[in-house]
A and B are shown apart, each in its own frame.
Chain A
Amino acid sequence: MQQLLNFFFKNRTLILFLFLLSLSFGLTINSQDYQKSKFINSSAWVSGSIHTLFSDIGDYFYLKKENALLLAENNRLKSREYSLSITSSETLNLKKEYKLTPAAVVKNSYGFLNNYLTLDKGRNDQIREDLGVVNSRGIVGIIDKTTSKFSRVISILNTKSKVNAKLKKNNYFGSLEWNGENPRLVQLYDIQDLVKLNKGDTIVTSGYSSIFPENIPIGAIAAFKLNDTKDLYIIDVALFNDMTNLRHVHIIENLNKEELQILSTQDE
């Protein structure tokens, strides 16, 4: 017993080192599995507040650019409004399917394999997990975690992100993922080899999942090749969005989501 205690005492630095090392390995492995990383994430209150404070300052440097973006979007929406033949929208009995909430990005990254954004809206603003996030140019990601004031978004530049996407011209759909190499290119998998592809074809969201509405722009085809078994395409998609510079985004909530989910679980 004495010897055992002596052994521990003599090697206490090594034991502490190994203990802390295994702790940090554990945290790393947990964070790879994004469902489990509850403890360390930037939507935590302290880090969220600090990021907000400083991104508020940073926002001033981008005011001009943001204004130009807003003007462009307003212009697009106005031109659509004028080209609609119906003049008064009150006569239309439009059913509301999606609710949009504006939010500001307080933290963004794109240099890692698994990138996350932090937004300044949380549970207090009725933001829940699994809502889609877009901006005026295209999709950004999906919310995976919320605290009362902040929420964390799995960016489409995350190797664990998977979004259903389709070709705009003929509706063939596949799965949009990222290989972690270039923050301007994402990959679209599972498109059949008999589909005719051209460089520059537009890729949009498919609307098959309940997260994103249909036809939200994603990007244009930059290159494509067949996979190893020569039956499916691997397509490089150049994003419309500049993921390295995001300031303001919209969170999309599908108001029919529960009903859709009831239907899809009945099949199983």
Chain B
Amino acid sequence: MNSLLFSNITRFITLVLVQILICNQLNFMGNINPYIYILFLLLYPIGSNRMGFLFIAFSLGLIIDLFLDSGGANAAASLSIAYIRPIFLKFSFGAAYDYQSVKLNTAEALPRLTYFALMIFIHHFILFTLIYFDSSKFKMIIYNTLVNSGFTLILVLLLNTLFSSKKS
């Protein structure tokens, strides 16, 4: 349990630093920046206290907002995906989730991809809606959501494969 807590704290700090110092300076092809910090929310232990998870998701988003001058957009987006995570887990992993036996490291590729993609898409959609906050910019919101989601998804999958411990 302690090592789980420790690895989560390390992951939290590392992802925040990488997000602020590297990912938000990338500006790939103009303004495409991956939001890889949500990897923390994706990999947060399943079946842990939900209220605590909501708090952690909110503060994670708020810290990112603090550095990016984006008000509370990241906080709202992270909080929302943290809240709806069980629904997506159930949708992607089906019965395995009901029996509390999902292990993200050992799960099959397809359900994991579905789960990541859904979470990332919803997160980015809320994020860009709040950043632009203007219905006349709807085209830009959709464009940014799709492009950034794709970029984030690729990076998240790579990072996850790179750092996951294959202990079955």
Residues of A within 8 A of B (CB): 12-13, 16-17, 20-21, 23-32, 37, 40-42, 44, 46-47, 50-51, 54, 58, 107, 109-114, 116, 152, 180-181, 183, 244
Contact = CB atoms under 8 A, between A and B. Distances in A.
Nearest to A12: B51
Given A24-B75, A32-B133, A180-B140, A13 B65 contact: no
A44 to B, nearest CB: 7
Nearest to A30: B71
Interface residues of B, number: 37
Contacts of B33: 111
Interface string B46-63: 000011001100100110
Contacts of B105: none
B133 A40 contact: no
Looking at chain A's contact residues, the main secondary structure is helix
Interface in B19-48: 20-21, 24-25, 27, 30-33
A21 B79 contact: yes
Contact of B21 (A28, A32, A54, A152): A54
17 contacts: A16-B51, A20-B54, A21-B76, A23-B72, A23-B75, A25-B72, A27-B65, A27-B71, A27-B72, A27-B75, A28-B133, A31-B70, A42-B69, A47-B67, A50-B21, A181-B140, A183-B30
Contact of B69 (A20, A110, A116): A116
Contact of B70 (A26, A112, A244): A112
Nearest to B63: A47
Contact of B62 (A40, A114, A116, A183): A40
B107 interface: no
B68 A109 contact: yes
A114 B130 CA distance: 12
Contacts of B62: 24, 27, 40
A28 B69 contact: no
A21 B25 CA distance: 27
A113 B75 CA distance: 18
Contacts of A110: 27, 31
A259 B163 CA distance: 62
Given A28-B73, A40-B72, A41-B69, 12 more contacts: A13-B50, A17-B83, A20-B58, A20-B75, A26-B72, A27-B75, A37-B71, A46-B66, A111-B33, A113-B133, A113-B134, A180-B137
A153 to B, nearest CB: 11
A180 B72 CA distance: 20
Contacts of A51: 20, 67
A47 B66 contact: yes
Nearest to B22: A54
Contact of B67 (A16, A26, A42, A152): A42
Contacts of B68: 42, 109
B8 interface: no
Contacts of A46: 66
Contacts of A32: 71, 133
A109 B69 contact: yes
Contacts of B58: 20, 23-24
B91 interface: no
